[in-house]
Structure 1
Amino acid sequence: MFTTLGKSLMMASSVLALTGTAYAQEKDSTQKVTRVTPFNGVKDYRTWSIGVWGGGSAAISPFGGPYYFNNFDFKNVGFVYGAYVKKQIFHNFGLQADFMRGQVKGATKAAQTLTDIHGNAVAGGIKSFKTDIDWSASLSGVFSLGSINWINKQSFVIPYVSAGAGVMGFKPVVTAADGAETAVMTSGGKARHTEMFIPVGVGAKFVVAPGVNIDLGYNVNFVDSKVFDGVNSGNKDKFSTARLGLEFALGKKRKPQLAVVNPAAQLAMDLQDKNAALKNSLAESDSRNQSAINQLKGEIADMKKDTDGDGVPDYLDKCPNTPAGTKVDGAGCPLPTPQVQVVKEKIIVTEADKKVVKDAIDNLEFDLGKATIRPTSFSSLDKVAALLVEKNFSLKLAGHTDNTGSAATNLRLSKGRAEAIKAYLVSKGANASRIEATGYGAAQPIASNKTAEGRQQNRRVEFTLY
């Protein structure tokens, strides 16, 4: 007789054994795979898929089961079924939304005197339980373990592991030794319990056709409830499910499914195509150029002739017979008298420079209704001043206000605040001739003045570094 743990481990290992056996029997794919461009995102793949499945459930797992219902028997296997929607993010990772319904059952060898959710002893003792899962929804991350294969071009079997979280609604019912059934109610007197659960699973996808996979999986579901099995044993319950289903990739059939395609093979095929094209191109070039090479050898000798000795061959010399010693351009004509040219320094504003200015804008504060800069703004303004001194940048300051008050007052206040910032930067060593301070009052709002939030955005000083 197996122990509960041994039997539950047997269920999990059966799935992994099937996966390992099939994976060892991979062959090179003869199926035509649509070529994609490596390192070009997922637009060349099908990333969405749907699946349907059915299977069995049991009140045991590799991590133990309900304390009183650990007697595994095929009579106590429940039926579960569901569907899922999956979005593949990378070759080996995707997000999967699962939906499940069904029933979980369990029985003891002999009736046990147990307590219900309220701590009351159940008359006659409990012989078995069955819990109907009315609905469940969960979101899991799925990690594929065999999509990248450096041995074969295509993997027919792709093992995976998954973990996530979800919510389920269930109705537990216990059966006494005399056959009487009792629904286990919530503390609020309701038959349906709604609790969180964590599904953790292993499995494998079997590629049977382009965009069609058989999905074989095993899950352990950790339920945040002590009465999922109808009995409050003091521990939170768990159950396992084994399922068999079909997965269908969505999208254009000519595109491969991201979850099953081998990126190493895709890259190899792309390199093979480019290598073959390059070889053909080189062969054609050799045949075309060989005849031209002999002709060029004779022409090169004529092209080297330079009658006037100015360094420009006769066939390029537009000014033949130039006097000896005259400096000429590439066409053999005398060069004009050189003039000194002033090269204007190219000023480059980096992302780091922009961040210094942005921090100054974000930290800029004035006294209410005044052009007085608050001391909390000095530190970030000091960094702007240092930037102007170090890189010789120019800076435009544009003051703006909301529409509160008269236009003249707003124009004066916006101009004064811009001038106050300029004066502060100059006091820290910045070149005054490279700083322009302008006020626009309320003439250029960036948000609605009808709300306090909009007016707050309109009261600003814009920094433009160039």
Structure 2
Amino acid sequence: MVNVSNILTKFEKKSQLKLFNLKIMNYSTLKKTVALSFVSLMAVAAVNAQSSSDTTAKAGTAAKVFGGSGQYRTWNIGINAGVTSPFLAIGGTNGTTDWSAGFAYGISVRKQLAHSFGAQLDVVGYGSKVSGSNSTPRNNIKSFETTIAYQATLSGVVNVATIDYLRRKNAINFYVSAGAGLVAFNPVLTWGTPVAGSQTLDNKGKHNGGTDYVKELVIPVGVGVKFRLSDRVALNFGYTANFIDNDYFDGIKNSSNPFHKDKYSYAYGGLEFSLGSSAKPNLDWVNPVAMMYDELNDPTLRQEVQALKGRVTNVEKAVDDLKKDSDGDGVADQFDKCPNTPAGTVVDGAGCPLKMPTIDTSLFVRKGTAMNGGGTVAPTAYSNIQFEFDSSGLRPTAFPVLDATSADLRASKKAVTISGYASSEGTAAHNLRLSKDRANAVKTYLVNSGVDAKKLKVKGLGETNPVADNSTEAGRELNRRVEFKK
């Protein structure tokens, strides 16, 4: 903080003032020389970049989508120079009413981490200046000039327009940036009264325990635009607002607002150079849309697709051959060990005729046996009992057979096994339960009709031992049955 009353008591000698003015003149000459040299350098680089062949611009086209950052050039170094001001484009309060153009220069090093994002280190060069003045002196303060010893910041840089659906390759990139760092500076005040005249006060060494420069946190926030001159070189224009974490950057303490913080802006132009192998493209200017398009239209990929179509055709033909069944028995020709079986023949898994189970006819009632008070009936006892789909209920058509079977069992000492079966629909476990329920339904009917339960043994055999083809409804109907066996 500057105490004006103390300033008024400190007058410098006229010889010191003359020496100071001489230094200012030398510095002004130096600014002009450096600026002219820098502009010349940019012009030469631009001409060289534009006159070079497109070979460099087209270098490194082997990059693939999702191939990683290793297939690109991702390191960039830049130089820049421009004008500083204690005022910002967004406004705000300042210690002076007017600003004088100051000169600054710097370098940058950036690592591009993705198409749209990079991390950048910026260093503002030694001797860069920021200055302001009062057209009408405030508290006898006429102007200030702050010298920056150095400023180093680390920022994230976001490219705003990296994907272009209109052009194959970008020529312009807009970006925004923000970060944090450290700035070392020294403000010099010019003040005076009509009586005493103008005087200067150099604050170097009077703060932070007598150190040469004041060091504070700085927050840079910037915008900019880059123009692609070649795959190696870009022309860069930007504007950065630097927010200082104190109110001493201009040497003037704002007593009306104890929370006031100083700031300054830096408008610059410069060149940026891409580092790395020429065989790789610069990640800054790669358009992901164009890369995807090139991959989809790659002749090699098209050949692979055609070859894949051919392999699919061969597989489909092989599947058709596997499914071919010349005799229609449900077994493919490749696995049919008994080809040309007659139509309707029940076959096993190898395509050979299925050996049908032998029916034990010894249990059948002989012709002429007296039943129900005398007459003779056909041998219907012990015939298979059929069932409806997924049902264990007895059909009325089964009653005559069951009655005849009951009469024979009650009149003799015979014992039988009641075996229940099911067709192949549903799971094996379900069919096993269903077959046992069917056998128990027959046993319950016979016991209720007077047959000794000890003569009846029940088995549930599920969908095993089919007597007909389960691939037809007629065959499945025959397999939904109960059989009687000794």
TM bracket, shorter-chain basis: 0.5 to 0.7
What does residue range 377-416 of structure 1 map to in structure 2 within 5 Å? none
2:162 aligned with 1:147: yes
Distance 1:305 1:230, change over 3 A: same
Counterpart residue number, 1:92: 116
Larger radius of gyration: 2
CA contact (8 A) 1:60 1:70 kept: no
Pairwise CA distance, 1:278:
4.9
What does residue range 358-369 of structure 1 map to in structure 2 within 5 Å? none
What does residue range 132-281 of structure 1 map to in structure 2 within 5 Å? 132-177=147-192, 178-184=197-203, 185-186=206-207, 188-234=209-255, 235-273=260-298, 277-278=302-303, 281=306
CA contact (8 A) 1:136 1:168 kept: yes
CA contact (8 A) 1:59 1:70 kept: no
Within the candidate set 68, 82, 94, 2:106 is matched to: 82
Q: Work out the CA distance in 2 between the residues paired with 1:214 and 1:241.
A: 17
Q: Work out the CA distance in 1 between the residues paired with 2:198 and 2:67.
A: 64
Q: Determine helix, strand or coil for the equivalent of 1:43.
A: helix
Q: Work out the CA distance in 1 between the residues paired with 2:337 and 2:65.
A: 51
**Normalization by structure 1: what TM-score?**
0.52
AA partner of residue 77 (structure 2):
I
Q: Determine helix, strand or coil for the equivalent of 1:259.
A: helix
Distance 1:320 1:64, change over 3 A: closer
Unaligned runs of 5+ in 1: 1-28, 114-124, 290-295, 336-466
AA partner of residue 206 (structure 1):
F
CA contact (8 A) 2:77 2:273 kept: yes
Pairwise CA distance, 1:211:
2.8
Distance 1:187 1:136, change over 3 A: closer
Q: Determine helix, strand or coil for the equivalent of 1:96.
A: strand
AA partner of residue 285 (structure 2):
V
AA partner of residue 49 (structure 1):
N
Number of residue pairs aligned between Structure 1 and Structure 2: 281
Q: Work out the CA distance in 2 between the residues paired with 1:273 and 1:196.
A: 52
Deviations 1:225-255 (A, max 9, x none): 2111111124211110011111122222222
Unaligned runs of 5+ in 2: 1-53, 355-486
CA RMSD in angstroms comes to: 3.9
CA contact (8 A) 2:222 2:240 kept: yes
Q: Determine helix, strand or coil for the equivalent of 2:292.
A: helix
Within the candidate set 26, 40, 45, 2:72 is matched to: 45
AA partner of residue 243 (structure 1):
Y
Pairwise CA distance, 1:149:
1.2
Distance 1:310 1:204, change over 3 A: closer
Distance 1:35 1:188, change over 3 A: same
Q: Determine helix, strand or coil for the equivalent of 2:284.
A: coil
Pairwise CA distance, 1:66:
5.9
Q: What's the % identity of the aligned pairs?
A: 37
2:155 aligned with 1:131: no
Q: Determine helix, strand or coil for the equivalent of 2:302.
A: helix
Q: Determine helix, strand or coil for the equivalent of 1:80.
A: strand
Query: Which stretch shifts more, 258-267 or 184-193?
Result: 184-193
Distance 1:187 1:48, change over 3 A: closer
AA partner of residue 87 (structure 1):
K
CA contact (8 A) 1:226 1:237 kept: yes
Q: Work out the CA distance in 2 between the residues paired with 1:322 and 1:109.
A: 116
